Chains A and B, each alone.
Chain A
Amino acid sequence: MKQTSQLGAHAHNFPRGRAAELPKETLLKMYRDMVEQRRFEEATGRAYGLGKIMGFCHLYIGQEAISVGAAAALRPSDVMMSAYRIHAQAMARGVPPQAIMDELFGKATGCVQGLGGSMHIFDIAKGFWGGWGLVGQQVPTAAGVAFAQKYQSTSNITMVFFGDGAVHQGAIHETFNLASVWGLPIVFVVENNQYGMGTALSRVSSLEPLHEMADAYKIRHYEFNGMDLLESYDAFADAVDYAREHSRPVYLEAHCSRFRGHSMSDPGKYRTKDQLEEEKAHDPIPGFAAFLVDCGVTTHEALEAIDETAKAGMKLILERAEAAPWPDPELISKYVLVSP
Chain B
Amino acid sequence: MAQLLFRDALNQAMSEEMERDSRVYLVGEEVAQYDGAYKVSQGMLARFGEKRVIDTPIAELGFVAVAVGSALGGLRPIIEVMTYNFAILSLDAIINTAAKAHQMTAGQLSCPIVLRGATGAGGALAAQHSQSLESQYTHIPGLICLSPSTPADAKGLLKSAIRDPNPVIFFEHEALYSAKGEVPDGEHLVPIGKGDIKREGSDVTIIAWSRQMKQLIEQADAWSEELGLDIELVDPRTLRPLDMELILASVKKTGRVVIVEEGFQFNHVGAEIAYRIQRDGFDLLDAPVERVTSIDVPMPYSPALEKLVLPNADRIKAAIRAVCYK
User: Contact residues of A with B, CB < 8 Å?
Assistant: 54-56, 103, 106-107, 114-117, 119-120, 132-136, 165-166, 168-171, 196-199, 203-205, 270, 326-327, 329, 331-333, 336
B126 in contact with A55 (CB, 8 Å): yes
B272-326: which have CB < 8 Å to A? Answer: 295-298, 300-305, 308-309
B129 in contact with A168 (CB, 8 Å): no
Name the distance in Å between A202's Cβ and chain B's nearest Cβ.
11
Contact status of A119 and B305, CB under 8 A, knowing A199-B30, A327-B300, A332-B295:
no
- Inter-chain CA distance A26–B88, complex, in Å, is 44
- Inter-chain CA distance A190–B295, complex, in Å, is 37
Name the distance in Å between A30's Cβ and chain B's nearest Cβ.
31
Chain B residues positioned under 8 Å from A120 (CB to CB):
126-128, 301
Name the distance in Å between A321's Cβ and chain B's nearest Cβ.
12
A198 in contact with B305 (CB, 8 Å): no
> What 5 additional pairs, Cβ within 8 angstroms, besides A132-B128, A333-B297?
A54-B123, A106-B305, A136-B58, A197-B29, A197-B37
Chain B residues positioned under 8 Å from A166 (CB to CB):
58
- Inter-chain CA distance A55–B34, complex, in Å, is 20
Q: Which of A56, A115, A169 contacts B127 (CB 8 A)?
A: A115
Nearest residue (CB) in B for A269 is B34
B33 within 8 A of A: yes
- Inter-chain CA distance A168–B29, complex, in Å, is 12
A55 in contact with B128 (CB, 8 Å): no
B34 in contact with A270 (CB, 8 Å): yes
Chain A residues positioned under 8 Å from B33 (CB to CB):
198-199, 203, 270
B95 within 8 A of A: no
Contact status of A107 and B128, CB under 8 A, knowing A168-B57, A198-B34, A333-B295:
no
B140 within 8 A of A: no
Q: Which of A134, A165, A204, A332 contacts B305 (CB 8 A)?
A: A332
Q: Which of A117, A136, A198 contacts B126 (CB 8 A)?
A: A117
A199 in contact with B55 (CB, 8 Å): yes
B246 within 8 A of A: no
Contact status of A331 and B300, CB under 8 A, knowing A199-B55, A204-B55:
yes
Q: 1/0 per position for B104-126, CB-CB distance to A under 8 A? A: 00000000000000000001111
- Inter-chain CA distance A134–B84, complex, in Å, is 11
Chain B residues positioned under 8 Å from A332 (CB to CB):
295, 297, 300, 305, 308-309
Chain A residues positioned under 8 Å from B57 (CB to CB):
165, 168, 196, 199, 204-205
Q: Which of A106, A197, A205, A336 contacts B298 (CB 8 A)?
A: A336
User: 17 A-B Cβ contacts within 8 A?
Assistant: A55-B301, A106-B301, A114-B304, A116-B127, A119-B128, A120-B128, A133-B129, A134-B85, A135-B86, A168-B62, A197-B37, A199-B30, A270-B34, A331-B305, A332-B297, A336-B297, A336-B298
B61 within 8 A of A: yes
B224 within 8 A of A: no
B42 within 8 A of A: no
B36-93: which have CB < 8 Å to A? Answer: 37, 55-62, 85-86, 88-89
Chain A residues positioned under 8 Å from B62 (CB to CB):
168, 170
B58 in contact with A133 (CB, 8 Å): no
Chain B residues positioned under 8 Å from A333 (CB to CB):
295, 297
Chain A residues positioned under 8 Å from B301 (CB to CB):
55, 103, 106, 114-117, 120
Q: Which of A106, A134, A198 contacts B128 (CB 8 A)?
A: A134
A329 in contact with B298 (CB, 8 Å): no
- Inter-chain CA distance A188–B41, complex, in Å, is 35
Nearest residue (CB) in A for B37 is A197
User: Contact residues of B with A, CB < 8 Å?
Assistant: 29-30, 33-34, 37, 55-62, 85-86, 88-89, 123-129, 295-298, 300-305, 308-309
Chain B residues positioned under 8 Å from A116 (CB to CB):
126-127, 301
- Inter-chain CA distance A217–B89, complex, in Å, is 23
- Inter-chain CA distance A168–B62, complex, in Å, is 9
Contact status of A114 and B125, CB under 8 A, knowing A168-B59, A331-B305:
no
- Inter-chain CA distance A170–B65, complex, in Å, is 12
Q: Which of A106, A115, A270 contacts B303 (CB 8 A)?
A: A106
Chain B residues positioned under 8 Å from A326 (CB to CB):
302, 304
Q: Which of B56, B129, B304 contacts A56 (CB 8 A)?
A: B129
Chain B residues positioned under 8 Å from A132 (CB to CB):
128
Name the distance in Å between B15's Cβ and chain A's nearest Cβ.
21
B86 in contact with A115 (CB, 8 Å): no
- Inter-chain CA distance A169–B56, complex, in Å, is 11
- Inter-chain CA distance A92–B302, complex, in Å, is 24
Chain B residues positioned under 8 Å from A196 (CB to CB):
57-58
Chain A residues positioned under 8 Å from B56 (CB to CB):
204
Chain A residues positioned under 8 Å from B129 (CB to CB):
55-56, 119, 133
A197 in contact with B302 (CB, 8 Å): no
Chain A residues positioned under 8 Å from B123 (CB to CB):
54-55
- Inter-chain CA distance A91–B278, complex, in Å, is 56
Contact status of A56 and B59, CB under 8 A, knowing A114-B302, A117-B301:
no
Name the distance in Å between A81's Cβ and chain B's nearest Cβ.
15
Candidate in A54, A103, A326 with the most chain B CB atoms within 10 angstroms = A54
Chain A residues positioned under 8 Å from B302 (CB to CB):
106-107, 114-115, 117, 326-327
Nearest residue (CB) in A for B82 is A197
Chain A residues positioned under 8 Å from B308 (CB to CB):
329, 332
Name the distance in Å between A201's Cβ and chain B's nearest Cβ.
9
Candidate in B60, B85, B128, B308 with the most chain A CB atoms within 10 angstroms = B128
Chain A residues positioned under 8 Å from B296 (CB to CB):
336
- Inter-chain CA distance A317–B29, complex, in Å, is 37
Chain B residues positioned under 8 Å from A169 (CB to CB):
58-61, 89
